[in-house]
Structure formats: structure tokens, C-alpha cells
Structure 1
């Protein structure tokens, strides 16, 4: 493997270690023992849930191909997963608010374990069922756990600022370190120990079962709006009304969809972008490098949040930088000569793109705890899970369209589109900051007026 990859990985590892070890008092927040125990419990559960997800990632496509399915069949399986998340996401989100977020988290574990079990079957319909179950589980993973955390944090009376500590730590471990370890462990099971590509799915089911046991034994239940007569359709109406009546929520949903849509498109496109002429690139090592970049981003985010930096302000810069990095494939295709040698090492243009993609992954690491912080501020508690899954409808629709047309457009067009979306996210983020500031000024003015009224005759 070329030394370039080791230099990038080693450089990122040194920076991450330096940031974590070099934290000053300004970068740390003193918190009581009770909160630390609560935070560590959630981070442990979240890490187990994400390990169950990350273990599967590197081998899903490969397993389907080993069962003899072609690219079109596999594409339809992936579309089934995202389509399921789009169709059933709002339903399970609403049920989580009404029936309990703890129950929804347990349901996630059971649903994803069943999805893992279906991977043992070579039959297309069984695998299709597994993708549908996986789509439902994904909706719960990205809504129920966060909703439970925010509600439980507030119920216990902890400082709202401390939420960002839990978010940052969960993303640093669950979306960074755990992803790297899970990728290496999956490779050990499937290749080194010779258990085959289905072994990582069995391991994922075990980790999910352990996490479910911890949830059942240590978590309390919390709910959204449990008003009498509030059926599923009423929950939808409450969520839709909240989005339509509050510009801050609508902007937040649009920003999330634009960024995550670009992010999931990047997941499909980074491999052909780095190896347009079938260059020999170490996919697993590059994936680990991306996850290390994400850890770098979450470490930066924890510092920004600890110093109470304005999320709405610095995220404008993050989105602008993201737009630039995903425009690099377009720029390099125009400015950097491409190699015509098949199967060679990574090209100069590919090396530039890899550095840009690592920067993008760092932006992803900043994005997750920051968007969680904004959601905790702007989304009303009574319909939190429902609204969060409403946000995922345009995201999943977009990804389904991309998957269906992935061969219809040149890769540069796809990256150019993502770059435009990220610029739009930066503009909307600016608008969100202005609206939020106006709302704060208006609320402060009303409070001052209310205090002065008794003094006037």
C-alpha cells in the first residue's frame, strides 16, 4: 500500500490525539457524578447500537453479490431499504412519541436483529424483507434514541448546555472510534478467520442484543404528547403544523435533508471518484481514514460547544467548506490530467480528492452533534420523534432517486449537484440564525414589557 495513505491516516491520528489530550479548562465542562453516570450509560448504549450498524456496512453489497445478484438487483434492495424508511419512518416516529421512546429503542433492536437474521437466506424475497426491516430500524435509530435522551435529560433537570457534551461524546465514539473498530472486526471475522460475509451480521445481532438488555434494565420510559383522542393522524397533523407554522423548524428540516442527502450520495460515489480507471485503492483503509476524519470533526465540535460558540454561526462555515470539498471531483476532472493506465495506484487528482473527502468527513463529524443541539432547541417535545422522521422523508426520497439514476449521469454532475445543495444549506443556515435572533429579541422585548406593565397606572 502506498505511503500516502499511511501519511494521511497518521497525520489525522496525531491531530485527533493532540486535540483530545490538549483540552484546556475552557474546553471542558465540570459536571456532577450523577450526570456523568447518565451520560456514560447513554454513550455505551449508543455505541453498541452503532456497532451493530457499522459491522454490517462493509459487507452488505458483497454478501448480495456472493448470493449471485447483479448490480440492478442489489440496487433495488438498497432502494427498498431507503423507501421503507421513507414510508414507515413517520409512523414509527409517531408511535415512539405516543407509546414510549424506550419501547421504540427496544423495537429498533428487535427489528434490526431480525434484519440481520434474514442475511442467512439466499432468497431475494427474504433479503428484500430484511431491507424493509432495516429501513424501519434506521428510522428509529435516528429519532427514538435522541428523543429519549433529550426528554430524559430535561426530566432529570440537567443543564440544557450539557446535552452537547453527550452528543459530542456519542458521535466521537459511536460514529468514529466504533466505526473503525467495527470495520476491522468485521474484516477479521469474514476474511481472516474465514467465517464468511454473513459473520459480521451475526456479530451485529449480538451487540444489539447486549444493548437491548442494558436499555431494558437501566432506562426509564418517556413520552411525547399522550393527550386523549390523539390518534396517529392527529400526531401527523401536530408535526406538520409545527413545521408549517415555525420557520425555524422548517429551515432546520431543509438544512438536514440537504446535508444528509449529499452525505449519502457521497457514500455511493467516493469509490468510483477515487478510482475512475480501476485504480488499486485500499477501500477498507480509506474507510477507516474517513471515520478518523469524522472523529476529528466531532472533537472540534465538542470544543466549539463547550465554549458556547453559536451553532447557527459556525455551521454556515462548515456547509460552505463541505460544498467546496465535494466540488473537487468536478475541478480535478477539468484541471488535472487523468491517467489512462488501468489498475495503477491512485492518481494525483485522486490524492487531492482524498484529502478533500477527509475534510468533508470532518465536516460530517461537526455536523452531527451540532444538528442534534439545534434540534434539541427548536423541535417541540410533544412530537419530537414524529417531526424528526418527517425531516427524513425528502432525504430518503432523494437517495432513492439517486440510486435509481446512479448510472444515468456522469459522476461530476452528481458531485456538482451535491455541492450546490450544500451551498443552499449554508444560505438556509444563515437565514435560520437571523430568524432565531429575531425570535430571541422579540421574546426578550415581550418579557420586558410584561415586567413593566404593573408599574404603569
Structure 2
């Protein structure tokens, strides 16, 4: 069976099967892109003289992933120890207290999100929802983030970032409550609230941080330290949340992780209410004027347009990767099964490694420069499932490296947004940047695309992000030379 599958994969790489042609016919709008991508992938596969994993006598077992996790954890620990002496730090008690306060609230917020993630699909499935209904629920969440989340999260600039973060806790808590009712439309309401909450999570918290950091007069470079620690903490919280959610689900059922998430979100809102001051963008302008000013600012500043494109293209590929890494590794596996828990934990450790690498890179080079290489590496990584569709080891290693680039991307992008997005419309512009991202994910989810074609689009997005980053670097390089 493995030999037959390998033969089929090889034929797909070097030519076009009838099935491939039928799928191509359904994709007229993307036909030329896929043809070019297929041609280059086939050429590359011939040049590297691809040999399937089965032919080399190495059989991947669960212990391979266990040892990989141990090895990655050791490397991550060494990187963390090394970078502790290499990053900008401050003995200012005010900064230490500020950083601790922000990270406490932020990490509780992301914990509420991570606790739900692993069991959303399982809960819907156990509630009797069909595959089509579950897909509609996921599309509903992204559509809500696109349509309603953009508007509501943008209110933070006028009515307050702290208030918006509080609204995140309330909306996501309501989303958790809806999981107790076995009804498609109640589930959909929960997804709509969850989509809005996600938009707030990825904009209002960062907007509050940047404003307060600048207001208190802390050094600009210390912002990279906070973003790096936030990314590192996010990965640690993801691993812990996954373990807690799994234990809760095993002991008390799929609904329990959502109850734990509800408790964490309530705790987050309480800490936020009593420890965060409120801050705003431009309070005086009307809401319509606020949106118009944000659009005007973007149109007149190429740097913001570049940042929005880079964020949308990279995160669009990243979200699609989250949906596709399981089928990609499962298809390449000899047994047809993979240890999801160990692999997910390895991915989170890789992100932590990326955050540590970011600390070192940002000490010697600006993010505008080194992100060109990082984005290029990410595009190569997601090309591996196309070229080596049957090689589980190569795909796994490529995915690990991709997650390292994710760990670098998040703090780097946060730092660049903190510099180039104007304070008075920060949340609004950040949510405008998420519109193409949600559109990309929704479009791909609604298409009947093969896994191969999905990864081809991911590679295309990342190559475009790399080119945009190169343009941004050249644009800024000319400005720096002018001073």
C-alpha cells in the first residue's frame, strides 16, 4: 500500500493526473498560478532526486517524536539561558512591574483561547454536528472576525483599549457558555462572539501596551523584550493549556475545557479591571471620521501598507497551516497515525526557540532587515509537503523550522507595528490589516482544494510577503540614508 501511494505521489510531482486536471478545471481563477507552481515543484523534485522514506530503511515511530521533543526542549532551554544576557533589560522597578502586569493579563487572555482550541471540533462532533455543519461553524467564526470584529475592535481607539480588552473577556466567556447547548444556531452565536473576541485579542492588548510603554518613557528597545517574553509565554501557556484541557476532557467530558476557560477569562477580567489604567487613541473625532482618518493614514504611508500585506499574507499561510499540518503528516506516515500531542508540543517549543532567536537578532540587526530572510525560509519550509509528500521526517523538520519563523515573526511584527502605526488610530489600522487575513482563510476553507494545492497557495503567500518585506526594507533604507 505504501509503495502504491509513493508511486502515485511521484506521478503527481512529475506530471498531471486526470484527477489533477479535473481539480484544475474547477479552479479557473487560480489556474495559471498552480500550473507554474506544479512545474517548478516537479523540476525541483527531479533535481534533488527524491527518494521516499520507505526506501531508506528508516521507520518513523512515536519514539522519534518523543526524542524530537526532548531534543528541541534542550535546545530551547540553552537558547533561553544564552539570550538572557543578550537582550535589552532594565533595573527600573517601574518597568519590571509594568512588564509583569501586562504579561499576567495577556497570558491569562491567551490561556482562555488556548484552553478551547484543542476540543472545539471534538465537542461539535460529539454533539451530533455533521462535517458540513462544523465547517460552516468555523467559517462563521472567521467571517465574524472579518465583518464585526474589525468594527468592534476598532472602537478601542475612541472608547478605550482597556474597555475593549474587558469586552474580549465578556464575549469569549459568552462563547464558552454557548457550548453547553446542543443546538447549531446557539453554537453559531458562540462562534460569532468568538470571532469578534479574536479580533480584539490581536489588536487591543498590543495597542494598550504600546501606548502605556511610550507614555511612561521607557526605552524603545525594551519593547522588543516585552514582545519576546509575550511570545515565549504564549507558547508555554499553549503547552500547559493543552495538557490541562486534555486532562479535563478525559476526566469529565469535552465540555470541561470550556468551563475551565470560562474561569480563566473571568479571572483575567478581574485582574484587568483593578490593575490597568485606561488609554485612548483619538477620542474627539466621530466614529466615521475615525475610520476615514485611519484609511487616509494608510493610503499616505507605504510602510503601513507593507506591514498590513506582510501580516495578512504570513498569518493567512499560518492559519491554513494550522488546519493542514495534521493531514500532511498523517498522509506521509507509514502507519497512517501520528502522535498529535507530542507534535503540537514540539511546535510550541519551536515557537519558543524562535522568540529567543529574535532576541539575539534584534540586538545586532533591525527586524526590517532580518525578516526578509525569515520570511524566505518560511516559504521554503511550506514547500516541503509539496515536494516530499511521502517523507514524514523531512515534512516534520520543515514544519518545526516554520514554527521557529513564527516565533520570530510575532515579536518582530509587534515591534514594527509599534513604530510605524500612529497612536491615534492604532487599533483601527491593526484591524484593517486583519481583513485580508480573514478573507484569505475563508476563501481557502470554502474551496474544495487538495492538500497539495493548499500548500502551493501558502508558499505563494509567503513569497509575496518576502518580496513585500524586501520593498519595505529598501523604502526604509533610503529614508535612513536621508538623515
Q: TM (normalized to structure 1)?
A: 0.90
What is the correspondence of 1:110-149 to structure 2 with a 5 Å cutoff? 110-149=170-209
Q: Alignment partner for residue 185 of structure 1, among 224, 244, 250?
A: 244
Give distance in 1, aligned partners of 2:261 and 2:114: 8
Do the aligned residues in 1 keep the contact of 2:157 with 2:282 (CA within 8 Å)?
yes
Give distance in 1, aligned partners of 2:299 and 2:468: 16
Give distance in 1, aligned partners of 2:112 and 2:85: 35
C-alpha displacement of 1:308: 4.8
Secondary structure in structure 1 of the residue aligned to 2:278: coil
What is the correspondence of 1:13-412 to structure 2 with a 5 Å cutoff? 13-23=73-83, 25-174=85-234, 176-191=235-250, 194-227=251-284, 230-276=285-331, 279-305=336-362, 307-333=363-389, 338=390, 349-405=391-447, 408-412=448-452
How much is the aligned-residue C-alpha RMSD, in angstroms?
1.3
Query: Where do 5+ consecutive residues of structure 2 fail to align?
Result: 1-60
Match of 2:20 in 1: none
Do the aligned residues in 2 keep the contact of 1:16 with 1:296 (CA within 8 Å)?
yes
- 83-92 or 61-70, larger mean C-alpha shift: 83-92
Secondary structure in structure 2 of the residue aligned to 1:280: coil
Do the aligned residues in 2 keep the contact of 1:91 with 1:232 (CA within 8 Å)?
no
Give distance in 2, aligned partners of 1:265 and 1:225: 35
Match of 1:343 in 2: none
C-alpha displacement of 1:93: 2.8
Do the aligned residues in 1 keep the contact of 2:311 with 2:433 (CA within 8 Å)?
yes
Give distance in 2, aligned partners of 1:88 and 1:31: 42
Do the aligned residues in 2 keep the contact of 1:116 with 1:201 (CA within 8 Å)?
yes
Q: What do residues 391-442 of structure 1 show as CA deviations (whole Å, max 9, x unaligned)?
A: 000100111111111xx22211111111121111111101101112223344
Q: What do residues 135-180 of structure 1 show as CA deviations (whole Å, max 9, x unaligned)?
A: 0000000000000000011111111111111111011002x11100
C-alpha displacement of 1:121: 0.7
C-alpha displacement of 1:94: 2.5
C-alpha displacement of 1:248: 0.4
C-alpha displacement of 1:20: 1.2
C-alpha displacement of 1:28: 4.5
C-alpha displacement of 1:31: 3.7
Q: Does 1:438 align with 2:463?
A: no
Give distance in 2, aligned partners of 1:437 and 1:211: 42
Give distance in 1, aligned partners of 2:212 and 2:90: 20
Secondary structure in structure 2 of the residue aligned to 1:26: coil
Secondary structure in structure 1 of the residue aligned to 2:449: coil
Q: TM (normalized to structure 2)?
A: 0.85
Give distance in 2, aligned partners of 1:186 and 1:58: 8
Give distance in 2, aligned partners of 1:358 and 1:140: 28
Give distance in 2, aligned partners of 1:90 and 1:98: 14
Do the aligned residues in 1 keep the contact of 2:88 with 2:222 (CA within 8 Å)?
no
Give distance in 1, aligned partners of 2:205 and 2:364: 24
Secondary structure in structure 2 of the residue aligned to 1:375: helix
Do the aligned residues in 1 keep the contact of 2:375 with 2:463 (CA within 8 Å)?
yes
C-alpha displacement of 1:90: 2.5
Do the aligned residues in 2 keep the contact of 1:79 with 1:400 (CA within 8 Å)?
yes
Relative to structure 1, the CA distance from residue 72 to residue 54 in structure 2 (aligned partners, 3 Å threshold; closer, same or farther) is: same
Secondary structure in structure 2 of the residue aligned to 1:27: coil
Q: Does 1:428 align with 2:483?
A: no
- Count of paired positions: 421
